[in-house]
Amino acid sequence: MPVPAMPHAVSRLRAARLARAAKPFLARGGPRGERCPGCRLVPSHCLCALRPLLTPQAGVCLLMADIEPLKPSNTGWLIADVVADTWAFGWARTEVDPGLLTLLADPQWQPCVVFPGEFVAPERVVMAVDSAQGGKRPLFILLDATWPEARKMFRKSPYLDRFPVLSLAPEQLSRYRLRRSTREDHFCTSEVGALCLELAGEAHAAQTLEAYLDVFTNHYLQSKHQLPVDPSDEVHQRLSALRQPGGAAAPA
């Protein structure tokens, strides 16, 4: 049995959300609905032993819609698995977590909000990241929610108005297969995180997060269809190569 991973930011937010729930949150899966607390998969398809943990210069701040931390398919969790400096805060229209405001004011970070530029005043939009701006480290603020929720969060979070908005223009289409979207250019949170890391010059971290998402998706779908995992297949081999010291993989 793999050693359970230490609780990270999304795990702690999930626990806090469950603690204040009026009724139990029941996720389907397993004979009695049991799931591994470390990866949220059914025990037979546990991913914990494959978890990479990297320490890139960039950090990630997840601003999560109310129900997101509870969803087994949420991929903000994967960012927290991989990127050591990841924070997660629940979003509410009427109040702001003081810890979020403290983080945004921390002088070691240069925050930017990741959001489509077409919905933002042009003067706020940036298309690239200066990873050495004033000696500060990039902090990517990701709105982890459905698209309608994310638009509402962006409009109703005035404390984010003073930060630049990073607008991504990726060429590839989303490979995420766990939830449906009406547009192929809408990316899951983990994919957005990987694109941000790439822009910040963190190529190895970006590739590792991409590979980890592919393996998570594989385990999730195999468990859903009650099929075994093949640890020697292409997605597992790619992640294994990246997890080695100095590891790198060819582009997928």
User: Is-contact 88 77, C-beta < 8 A?
Assistant: no
For residue 78, give both structure tokens.
């994967």
Beta strands in 94-153 (DSSP E): 109-114, 125-126, 137-144
Query: Please, which residues bridge with residue 114 across strands?
Result: 142, 166
Token output for 238:
């790619």
Over residues 174-186, the pLDDT tens digits come to 555 555 544 445 6
For 5-53, write each residue's pLDDT tens digit. Answer: 578 999 999 999 988 876 655 555 444 568 898 999 999 999 999 999 9
pTM for the predicted model, two decimal places: 0.88
pLDDT of 134 reads 76
- Predicted confidence at residue 164, as pLDDT, reads 96
Tell the burial category of 30 from Cβ atoms under 10 Å away from its Cβ (0-12, 13-18, 19+): middle
